[in-house]
Amino acid sequence: MIKVQNLTKDYGHLRAVDNISFTIPKSGIIGILGPNGAGKTTTLKMMTCFMPPTEGTVFIDEKNIYQNSVEIRKMIGYLPEGCPIYTEMNVVDFLYFIAELRDIPKDSVNRRVKEMIDSCGLEEVVGKEIGELSKGYRQRVGLAAALIHDPEILILDEPTSGLDPNQIAEIRSLIKQLGKEKTVLVSTHILSEVEAICERVIIIDRGKIVADASLEEIQSSFHNQNRIYFEIQSKKDADILPEFEAIKGVESLQLFSKHEEDMITKFFINYSKDMDIRPELYNFIKKNKDWTILEMRTEQHSLEDIFRQLTEKGEEVAHA
Amino acid sequence: MHNIITIAKREIKSYFFTPVAYILMTIFLLITGWFFGSELFLVNEATMRNIFALTPLIFIFFIPAVTMRSISEEKRSGTIELICTSPVKDSEIVLGKFFAAFSLLVATIFSTIIYVIILLILGKPDGGVIVAGYIGLLFMGSAYASIGIFASTISKNQIVSFIVSFFIIMVLYLLDKFMYFIPTWLGSILQYISVDYHFQNIARGVIDSRDIIYYLSLIFVFLFFAWNSLTKRKYLST
Ligand SMILES: Nc1ncnc2c1ncn2[C@@H]1O[C@H](COP(=O)(O)OP(=O)(O)OP(=O)(O)O)[C@@H](O)[C@H]1O
Ligand SMILES: [Mg+2]
């Protein structure tokens, strides 16, 4: 169990982390989300005992970062931002070095290193110098190093930054796998990442927590409305929008774009969550023979919108 | 102890990944070889005097060049986070780095054994003076190394580290060189803190505990400063 209490960090006059508190009970993947400079890395550095807070403390299973720093470090696997590793070492040497630092017993070192090479998919690069590896492989070496002592808690600072989509997908599935038995804390400023892997998300902005809830809770608390996107081609007249106002349940219409020549209109319909207007809509459009539906899809209010709302308001939003 | 060795081992390997260690050792052997040869053949004397006189000067450049990367580079590349978040004490990191530099120092100093062998073949050198000279070099070099390690903790820029350690060592070296211009009481204080004065004492063949204590304290003080400065990452922004 991780308990972060009133964590605060000042860099000179700059308050990078401002009185942050949260608790993580047991296993699962928790996202720490925030724009650049929000204080994510700073928070993680304090949790991993790299530097102490200006105020506040972190408990991990009743141990705290001041008195039990070494024990806490033993329980945590940490992938720092940018994945710093000794570029002049080769992969195996590096893993053995970390294994030694992590006090892995002599008789199980070989086995552990081998397991890491397997589970992080490093077979192809074992003998290579780390400086020559692609970013994706480098990141995997970093992960292997963070995992080698089989920590209960894994803290990953922007683990997929700078990777190509394939590599991102691989790392994410690896993280998901790990989240089944470990507590994984992932910092990121990419929303889709949180949506893809996290069960719970803590959003911070300018050093403060602005939301802390499960992914669904956050999404649904901002979803009083549903939204449908339409792309309709009309045979007669491009000005079709007003006709939709008559439909019961429609709360607002929002024009996206209108192409006069081919008479295509693209627009959104917002409607109340309590009422499903889709059958009604379908019947309405079917009646009108001049219209061809080119596209129709339900739109979620994206986490993007939520994030922007939360971080731009810059004020405390009710914790869930 | 185990962590110190792990850190030191990796550091020693890394010396030989960059050409610095090779270049320095070659230059060292070339310079000492030149002076050794000229003394042996021109003056026709079987002594190590020139080498013992020269090495402390060479070390003023040599040792900062060896130690400048040690912690600076870890800070620059961020690997400092890797070792500081593993269960290793800051003091173990400092000692590991120090012993790595010490090992390279020992290797360098003992590469000059070849000159001693030549002397033994060609003449009858004074064994006591030579042994004392080596002991002096080891202590003096270690003191320089502790200064170098300290300097490398204060910046992520290795050039800054080099300049700072070079400057500190230079000052400590020159302290007893301007004795004519200052009152005697001040002179004897300066003499006591000068690194070269104690080396000269040892190199004469007299190993006095006062000189040894001086070097050990210097090493201790600078390693303590290094530890303190490394721990300060916790409070300062760099
Ligand atoms: N070593 C430092 N010295 C001074 N200020 C710092 C230092 N590290 C971070 N900061 C400042 O503290 C604030 C928070 O930085 P932090 O790196 O924690 O943000 P972050 O959320 O990790 O951002 P990013 O998404 O860009 O990684 C920023 O304003 C940053 O400029
Ligand atoms: Mg960051």
A125 occurs within a structural domain: yes
Q: What spacing in Å lies between the alpha carbon of A147 and ligand 2's midpoint?
A: 20
Considering chain A, what is the average pLDDT of its residues? Answer: 86
Residue B125 pLDDT: 79
Q: Are residues A129 and A259 in the same domain?
A: no
Question: Would the CB of B237 count as within 6 Å of ligand 1?
Answer: yes
Instruction: Report which of A185, A186, A114 is spatially closest to residue A148, judged by C-alpha positions.
Output: A114
Q: Is the pLDDT of residue B235 over 50?
A: no
Q: What spacing in Å lies between the alpha carbon of A305 and ligand 2's midpoint?
A: 22
Give SS3 for A35: coil
User: Between β-strands A55-60 and A2-11, what pairing exists: parallel, antiparallel or unpaired?
Assistant: antiparallel
Secondary structure in 3-state letters for A254-271:
EEEEEECCCCEEEEEEEE
Q: Are residues A104 and A244 in the same domain?
A: no
Last residue of a domain, one of A220, A250, A266: A220
Length of chain B: 238
Residues of B with CB under 8 A from a CB of A: 2-3, 6-7, 10, 13-14, 17-18, 77-89, 233-235, 237
Question: Would the CB of A36 count as within 6 Å of ligand 1?
Answer: yes
Residue A274 pLDDT: 76
Considering chain B, what is the average pLDDT of its residues? Answer: 88
Whether A101 and B17 lie within 8 Å, measured CB to CB: no
Q: Which ligand is the nearest neighbour of the Cα of A203?
A: 1
pLDDT for B31-46, tens place per residue? 988 888 887 777 766 6
Measured between CA atoms, how close is B162 to chain A, in angstroms? Answer: 21
A207 occurs within a structural domain: yes
Q: Are residues A47 and A176 in the same domain?
A: yes
Question: Would the CB of A42 count as within 6 Å of ligand 1?
Answer: yes
Q: Is the pLDDT of residue B214 over 90?
A: yes
Instruction: Report which of A311, A320, A313, A312 is spatially closest to residue A33, judged by C-alpha positions.
Output: A311
> What total of structural domains would you count in chain A?
2
Whether A80 and B234 lie within 8 Å, measured CB to CB: no
pLDDT for A257-280, tens place per residue? 888 888 888 888 888 777 788 888
Residue A249 pLDDT: 81
Residue A304 pLDDT: 66
Tell me the one-letter amino acid at B170.
M
A263 occurs within a structural domain: yes
Is the Cβ–Cβ distance between B39 and B46 less than 8 Å? no
Question: In which element (H, E) is residue B6 found?
Answer: helix B2-15
A284 occurs within a structural domain: yes
Protein residues near ligand 2, an ion, with CB under 5 A:
A 40-41, 81
Q: Are residues A173 and A229 in the same domain?
A: no
A306 occurs within a structural domain: no
Whether A100 and B6 lie within 8 Å, measured CB to CB: yes
Residue A187 backbone zone (phi > 0: left; psi -120 to 50: alpha; other: beta): beta
pLDDT for A50-102, tens place per residue? 998 999 999 999 898 988 889 999 999 999 998 999 998 999 999 999 999 99
Give SS3 for A190: coil
Question: Would the CB of A282 count as within 6 Å of ligand 1?
Answer: no
Q: Which chain B residue has its CA at the smallest distance from A9's CA? A: B235
Question: Domain containing A125 — which CATH number?
Answer: 3.40.50.300
DSSP assigned state of A314: -
Whether A98 and B86 lie within 8 Å, measured CB to CB: yes
Q: Are residues A180 and A275 in the same domain?
A: no
Out of A70, A97, A145, the one facing B6 most closely (by C-beta) is: A97
- Model confidence band, residue B52 (pLDDT cutoffs 50, 70, 90): confident
Q: Is the pLDDT of residue A104 over 50?
A: yes
Whether A73 and B86 lie within 8 Å, measured CB to CB: yes
Is the Cβ–Cβ distance between A54 and A9 less than 8 Å? yes
Q: Are residues A198 and A239 in the same domain?
A: no
Question: Would the CB of A51 count as within 6 Å of ligand 1?
Answer: no
Q: Are residues A141 and A275 in the same domain?
A: no
A316 occurs within a structural domain: no
Q: For residue A40, which atom of ligand 1 is closest to its CA?
A: 21
Position of tokens 């942050």? A20
User: Between β-strands A250-259 and A264-272, what pairing exists: parallel, antiparallel or unpaired?
Assistant: antiparallel
Residues 6+ positions from A22 with CB-CB distance below 8 Å: A4, A202, A209, A212
Last residue of a domain, one of A167, A195, A220: A220
* Chain A residues touching B76 at Cβ < 8 A: none
ipTM: 0.88
Report d(CA B143, CA B159) in Å as an integer. 20
Question: Would the CB of A136 count as within 6 Å of ligand 1?
Answer: no
Length of chain A: 320
Break chain A down into helix, strand, coil percent, rounded to 5.
35, 30, 30
Q: Are residues A177 and A243 in the same domain?
A: no
Question: Domain containing A229 — which CATH number?
Answer: 3.30.70.3190
pLDDT for A132-179, tens place per residue? 998 889 999 999 999 999 999 999 999 988 888 888 898 899 899 899
Q: Are residues A209 and A271 in the same domain?
A: no
Q: What spacing in Å lies between the alpha carbon of A39 and ligand 1's midpoint?
A: 6
Q: For residue A189, which atom of ligand 1 is closest to its CA?
A: 25
Instruction: Report which of B80, B83, B101, B55 is spatially closest to residue B219, judged by C-alpha positions.
Output: B101
- Model confidence band, residue A319 (pLDDT cutoffs 50, 70, 90): very low
Q: Are residues A209 and A230 in the same domain?
A: no
Residue A314 pLDDT: 43
Q: What spacing in Å lies between the alpha carbon of B108 and ligand 1's midpoint?
A: 43
Residue B237 pLDDT: 36
Out of B10, B87, B235, the one facing A103 most closely (by C-beta) is: B87
Is the Cβ–Cβ distance between B76 and B156 less than 8 Å? yes
Q: Are residues A290 and A201 in the same domain?
A: no
- What is the token pair recorded at A38? 């929000």
* Chain A residues touching B3 at Cβ < 8 A: 101
- Model confidence band, residue B178 (pLDDT cutoffs 50, 70, 90): confident
A37 occurs within a structural domain: yes
- Model confidence band, residue A115 (pLDDT cutoffs 50, 70, 90): very high
Is the Cβ–Cβ distance between B50 and B35 less than 8 Å? yes
Q: Which domain does A44 fall in, by range?
A: 2-220
pLDDT for B149-171, tens place per residue? 999 999 999 999 999 999 999 99
A25 occurs within a structural domain: yes
Q: Are residues A95 and A174 in the same domain?
A: yes
User: Between β-strands A183-188 and A28-33, what pairing exists: parallel, antiparallel or unpaired?
Assistant: parallel
Last residue of a domain, one of A173, A205, A220: A220
